[in-house]
Structure 1
Amino acid sequence: MTTTALEPSRTAAIQAELDQARRNGPLQHIVIPPCPELLTRLRAAMAPTEPDLNEVARIAASDVAMSATLIRSANGPLFAAGQPVQTVGQAMNRLGLEHTASVMAGFLMQRAIRVNHALLARFWERSTKRALAMAFIAKKLPGLSPDLAHTYGLFAHVGMPVMMQSVKGYAGTMIEARARIDRSPIATENANHRTDHAVVGALVARVWRLAPSVVAAIRLHHDLELLGGRGAESEVQTLVAAGLVAEYLMRRHEGEEHDVDWLSHGQAALDWLHVDGDEVLFWEEELRVTLDEA
């Protein structure tokens, strides 16, 4: 993860681009669901160096369905040990604070952004897998926050369900984008709608006040030529590169073929992260149970 000469304030420029497109550009009519109050409280509780454990517990206990999700996760094969847990407190103790917060964030996001189309039937399952893989990869890399990585993994493709809800004809665009071989899915989205899911996803992250580096990484996650160059700040490139590796590991776990992004830029991602293919295969074995659980 070598630091390179940077394009000045690329992250700030992306935020300004999003704000401009929201005021009088193609994003004017995109409906962004409000950030759930409980998620805002959760992020505030987790932000300090010493997170507010009592506040996290209060948030967890405030919603019966979220409490049930935590208990189910704690009793799943990844964490199950001894007697089944029966309370939120027991679940939090078994999961640990970091994983508890991750499960809660994913639950609150799914409730806020509904997915009601067959083309996105596994959207939240795959988003959860990506987020877990990102957090795992972050622990293998120096200097990348697992929380930041998890957030990026969860939000990376959130523009898709938001566009499905707000943009007429987006379902047809998704079908067309998957069928065409003469241009990328992003190019098809822009041709049909003057925007794409990377831009819309970045807007969601901006409106929900996520970290600027996460906003930028979502915006740039298909602009993979930036890896190793001067197209973005180091942390943004690391998130994008790790996201590409996470997607690769997910596809292997699901028995799917490599996607075009990996075939064309996978080696650049590995070079940026200073890891090799053999190391990633070891990661795959370590991740298997976690992805099975997701």
Structure 2
Amino acid sequence: MHSSQIQQELTTARDKGPLREIKIPPCPDLLRRLRTAMQRAEPDMTEVQAVASADVAMSATLIRVANSPVHLSDGAPCVSVGQAMTRLGLQQTAMLMQQFLVRNALPVNSPHLQRFWERSAKRAVCMEFLARHVEGLAGDLAASHGLFCHVGIPVLLQQVRGYGGTMVEAAARIDRPFIATEDANHRTNHAVVGALVVRAWGFPDPLMASVRLHHDFTVLNDRDTDPGVPLLVAAGLVAEQLMREHEGVPPDAEWLQHRDEVQAHLNISEADLAEWAHDLQPTLDYVV
């Protein structure tokens, strides 16, 4: 499915379909500023630092991560945003800031999603890691895909009556995929709503498409799909499995069903997966 088709699908669902009543929170101003600074040919580090310093809690998060055992070696602890940025590097700083800003724009207060943002952050970390090992996978899009692929779930939970019950039902059923239960009960699903959030917030079309299609593995062989989207979808499933392995959780049905074609698409082996799971462990230990 091409991004133009997804755009039309979202527009139709928004104008006269099941998404008419769903209100998408506005993109945070600080996130817009961060993206603008990072999208320049030479990222504007002064502006990134200004954005990071504009929110005390975000500044504290960067300093805390920079001082975690993963990053703190023999150096003195960081005490400022600038020191934290230097230690973390620009790309990881931007990724952490994006996670913080999205998390605060879409708060989750539900027993159904107690660890939602922690797991979203872990998925983003795994995706950014995979971008360093999979040819053609862009790091910024990969991390954003990991963060946003399930973002439709809290939106649906907040705004659609009965969605909490749908989550319980969908998780319990083994006769059909999670999104099939969502579609049956609400005529839409978290992949569609997540794509709507990504579009409303002005992110690139490939991210919108990958979020919309992250449970549709036919895209791996669909020549009409935008370049790069199949890579994001395939890597997303690998990231999910790496996260689940770190948590000691059994593989999900999608991994069991599609792992061979996903590994072939990404040209990765079982040895690669075992090595990456080992390498990611210390970083994932400190994601909260």
2:182 to 165, 189, 195: 189
2:56 to 53, 64, 71: 64
The percentage of counterpart residues that share the same residue type is: 53
CA distance in 2, matches of 1:49, 1:269: 33
Trace 1:1-294 onto structure 2 (pairs within 5 A).
10-81=2-73, 82-230=75-223, 232-294=225-287
Q: Aligned partner of 1:176: which letter?
A: E
Number of residue equivalences: 286
SS, match of residue 140 in structure 1: coil
Q: CA deviation at 1:279?
A: 1.1
Q: Which runs of 5+ in 2 are unaligned?
A: none
Q: Deviations over 1:1-20 (max 9, x none)?
A: xxxxxx6xx11111121112
Q: Deviations over 1:123-156 (max 9, x none)?
A: 0000000001000001112222101100110001
CA distance in 1, matches of 2:178, 2:36: 36
Q: Aligned partner of 1:141: which letter?
A: V
Q: CA deviation at 1:192?
A: 0.5
CA distance in 2, matches of 1:31, 1:78: 39
**Structure with more contact order per residue of length (Cα contacts < 8 Å, sep ≥ 6):** 1
Of residues 227-236 and 97-106 in structure 1, the stretch that sits farther from structure 2 once superposed is 227-236
Report if aligned partners of 1:71, 1:87 keep a CA contact under 8 Å in 2: yes
SS, match of residue 8 in structure 2: helix
Q: CA deviation at 1:272?
A: 0.6
CA distance in 2, matches of 1:155, 1:205: 8
Q: Aligned partner of 1:215: which letter?
A: M
CA distance in 2, matches of 1:226, 1:155: 18
Q: CA deviation at 1:30?
A: 1.0
Report if aligned partners of 1:228, 1:268 keep a CA contact under 8 Å in 2: no
* Pairwise CA RMSD: 1.0
Report if aligned partners of 1:36, 1:108 keep a CA contact under 8 Å in 2: yes
Q: CA deviation at 1:164?
A: 0.4
Q: Which runs of 5+ in 1 are unaligned?
A: 1-6
CA distance in 2, matches of 1:222, 1:145: 20
CA distance in 2, matches of 1:182, 1:276: 30
TM-score, normalization: structure 1? 0.95
CA distance in 1, matches of 2:70, 2:87: 11
CA distance in 1, matches of 2:172, 2:141: 33
Q: CA deviation at 1:284?
A: 1.0
SS, match of residue 132 in structure 2: helix
CA distance in 2, matches of 1:268, 1:100: 33
CA distance in 2, matches of 1:268, 1:161: 30
Q: CA deviation at 1:231?
A: 5.5
TM-score, normalization: structure 2? 0.97
